[in-house]
Structure 1
Amino acid sequence: MTRGPRRAQQIFDATLELLAAHGYRGLTVEGVAERAGVNKTTLYRWWPSKAALLGAALTHGAPL
């Protein structure tokens, strides 16, 4: 991945882990930020919504 935050993989991992544990309704940007060890503003800088973050995690974060 050429563009994105330095800790993109940790963010994607945290997103997918929280989705698995709590479902979409329980997935929060705040929870992802805390689990990935980044600021919430970092997430919103790259992904404008929870849905956009999840889409990126599903596209770029999960190994094939």
Structure 2
Amino acid sequence: MAIPFHEPGCWAWSDALQRQHLSLCWALECDIDPMILRARQLRRQGALPQASCVEEELLPLF
């Protein structure tokens, strides 16, 4: 179910509807670094320590 962001009253959406809309937006992302996508996938799978390790690799070195 696609929900137009400009829909009047979108600020009053329920939490569930906001999460659904955010998930739909994330599904459209195609130019994100593969490591970021991997970290998200690990978090969704409940592998939090592994996701944290991948995220640490993304931190700047300075």
Fold shared, TM-score > 0.5 on shorter chain: no
Relative contact order, CA 8 A, sep 6+: which one is greater? Answer: 1
Which is higher, the Rg of structure 1 or of structure 2?
Answer: 2
Task: Compute the TM-score of the two structures, normalised by the length of structure 1.
Answer: 0.30
- Structure that is richer in helix per residue: 1
